[in-house]
């Protein structure tokens, strides 16, 4: 028993010594942490000047809040008084808002018309003004009754005519406008790519005509306004000496244009081939016309042509005959240089023999100086 106690006592002493050594740092750290927490939690002491400034700030904030509340109360009181007066006068307030149906955004500067359904045709609308910039709305006091509203804005399809009953004060009507899809297309000759004067008709999927116009002879560019909510449109075009054109438009953004296919013709005049005065040299300004002739021959691999040259009456008959033949040969050689087979092109010079108008002025002489293409 005594021997066991002898062994236990030293062990207990070592354990107690170790606990004392570890416990002192832990207690110190714990005490430091408590001091730090108390320091953080303790309110910061302010100087008298700082206290005075803080009190002034709180007072100014309360004053601003009170002033704002008073202004809001005054405005509400004024609004309620105006509301009572409108009801007393029998003209409750009507709000009309306009917005983009596709994006939901408000549409300022939208022209709004409101009219009583009982009004005679032609009478001035009760409301005829544009929505404001801030809220895209109009407001007007109107007698109780049944009205219609109509809205329009550039770049948007006009709204349908909406009918509504106006009874309560501050009734609100929201009018939606859908943006137009602008389709720009060209009307050209399928062989020469030149502009074509054509009558163009666009119909919706219900075969109702939505637009009819004539293409420009100089630029052949048309602007067509489409509604991309429609499943498809059909486009029709007719022109003299061309086959009728008809196509379906499913996506306006991918549509390029109208290519009119010419009917079979025996000959045509190319007035845009120019030569140096009294010479057979082709001027560089003739390049577009030469490209058209080349595209024609390229698109019809088996087509043979005859190039006939004409001049005015200035100079001798013999000189004009030689000049017309030389100019035809220049055009022929140009086509051969571009890869057209020689045997597909015949030439004929007629000099001044076949004028289309009298050679009595410079303008008529210019018309007689021409190159004619005959399809064989």
> How is 224-276 classified by DSSP, letter by letter?
EEE-TTSS-EEEEEE-TTB--EEEEES-GGG--EEEEPBPP-SEEEETT--B-
Could you tell me which residue, 41 or 61, shows the higher pLDDT?
Answer: 61
pTM of full prediction above 0.75: no
∠ Cα 281 285 287 (to 5°) = 85
pLDDT tier for residue 46 given thresholds of 50, 70 and 90: confident
∠ Cα 130 136 141 (to 5°) = 65
Percent of the chain past pLDDT 70, that is, above it, reads 83
Listed in sequence order, the residues at least 6 apart from 170 whose beta carbon sits closer than 8 Å to its beta carbon are 83, 92, 93, 95
pLDDT reported for residue 272: 67
Tokens read off for 149: 């509203």
Range with the poorest average pLDDT among 20-34, 58-72, 106-120, 226-240: 20-34
Give per-residue pLDDT as tens, 176-223. 999 888 777 888 887 777 788 888 888 888 888 888 888 776 666 777
∠ Cα 326 331 337 (to 5°) = 120
Could you tell me which residue, 254 or 19, shows the higher pLDDT?
Answer: 254
Torsion of CA 321, 324, 327, 331, to 10 degrees: -130
Per DSSP, the three-state class of 164 is strand
Tell me the C-alpha distance between 335 and 293, whole Å. 8
Give per-residue pLDDT as tens, 249-283. 777 776 778 888 787 666 566 666 777 767 888 87
Q: Is 210 exposed, middle or buried (0-12, 13-18, 19+ CB in 10 A)?
A: middle
- Is 366's pLDDT higher than 90? no
pLDDT reported for residue 112: 93
Range with the poorest average pLDDT among 51-55, 156-160, 232-236, 278-282: 278-282
Nearest to 376 by CA among 352, 350, 346: 346
Contact 138, 95 (CB under 8 A): yes
Tokens 């005049």 belong to which residue?
269
Give per-residue pLDDT as tens, 4-13. 555 566 666 6
pLDDT reported for residue 110: 93
pLDDT tier for residue 238 given thresholds of 50, 70 and 90: confident
With b meaning 16 or more CB within 10 Å and e meaning fewer, what string describes 232-249? ebebbbebeebeebeeeb
Polymer length of the chain: 376
- Is 312's pLDDT higher than 90? no
């Amino acid at each position: 028993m005594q021997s066991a106690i002898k062994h236990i006592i030293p062990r207990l002493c070592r354990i107690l010594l170790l606990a004392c050594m570890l416990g002192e740092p832990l207690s110190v750290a714990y005490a430091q942490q408590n001091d730090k927490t108390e320091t953080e939690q303790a309110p910061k002491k302010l100087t008298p000047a700082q206290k005075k400034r803080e009190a002034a700030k709180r007072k100014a904030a309360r004053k601003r809040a009170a002033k704002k509340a008073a202004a809001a109360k005054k405005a509400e009181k004024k609004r309620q008084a105006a509301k009572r007066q409108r009801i007393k006068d029998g003209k409750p307030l009507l709000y009309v808002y306009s917005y983009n149906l596709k994006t939901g955004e408000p549409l300022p500067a939208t022209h709004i018309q409101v009219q009583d359904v009982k009004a005679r045709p032609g009478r001035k609308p009760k409301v005829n003004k544009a929505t404001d910039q801030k809220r895209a709305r109009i407001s007007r006091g109107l007698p109780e009754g049944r009205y219609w509203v109509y809205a329009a804005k550039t770049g948007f399809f006009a709204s349908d005519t909406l009918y509504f009953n106006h009874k309560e004060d501050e009734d609100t009507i929201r009018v939606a406008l859908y943006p137009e899809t602008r389709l720009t297309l060209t009307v050209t000759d399928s062989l020469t790519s030149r502009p074509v004067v054509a009558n163009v008709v666009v119909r919706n999927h219900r075969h109702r005509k939505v637009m009819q116009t004539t293409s420009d002879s100089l630029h052949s560019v048309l602007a067509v306004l489409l509604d991309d909510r429609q499943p498809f449109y059909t486009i029709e075009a007719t022109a003299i000496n061309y086959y009728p054109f008809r196509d379906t438009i499913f996506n306006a953004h991918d549509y390029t244009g109208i290519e009119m296919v010419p009917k079979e013709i025996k000959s045509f005049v190319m007035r845009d081939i120019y030569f140096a005065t009294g010479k057979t040299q082709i001027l560089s300004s003739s390049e577009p016309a030469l490209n058209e002739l080349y595209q024609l021959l390229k698109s019809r691999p088996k087509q043979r042509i005859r190039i006939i040259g004409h001049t005015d009456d200035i100079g001798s008959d013999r000189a004009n005959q030689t000049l017309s033949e030389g100019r035809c040969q220049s055009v022929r050689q140009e086509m051969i240089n571009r890869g057209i087979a020689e045997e597909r092109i015949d030439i004929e010079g007629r000099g001044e023999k076949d004028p289309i108008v009298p050679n009595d002025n410079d303008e008529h002489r210019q018309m007689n100086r021409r190159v004619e293409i005959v399809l064989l």
